[in-house]
Amino acid sequence: MHHEVSIVHGEAIKHGYHGTAWTDDAKAGTLMQFIGLKDKTDKELYSGDIVSASIYADEEPQILEVIFRDSSFLIDYEDSESDCVPVALFVGTLEIIGNIHENPELIAEVK
């Protein structure tokens, strides 16, 4: 069955062929914000994604989270002069390896 989900006043509304229903059912899925960019494998990046990030080919990749803060999508890249780098300005490669909802252990190991 086809479902489309809309957000109205912070709540999810699931639309299907058999009408519309309000849902807060976690099993229906977790909504994540697409940031308008893709990783090196052409997968869409979302806020909450966990990425493997590196600038140089011979550099050990860092495991980082894509976050939304101060009206920007950011990654906390330890080699940056500030504490975070806007994803759109990151000059290295990013590859999605999971997300904070399905793979919280990936980011917990880093923090």
Using one digit for the tens of pLDDT, what is the confidence trace for 35-65? 999 999 999 999 999 999 988 888 889 899 9
For the chain, the structural domain boundaries read 1-29, 34-108
- For the CA atoms of 32, 38, 41, 43, what is the dihedral angle to 10 degrees? 30
- Global model pTM greater than 0.95: no
Q: With cut-offs at 50, 70 and 90, classify the pLDDT of residue 8.
A: low
pLDDT at 40: 94
Q: How many CA atoms lie within 13 A of 37 on its CB side?
A: 19
- For the CA atoms of 88, 94, 95, 99, what is the dihedral angle to 10 degrees? -60
Indicate the CATH number for domain 34-108.
2.30.30.290
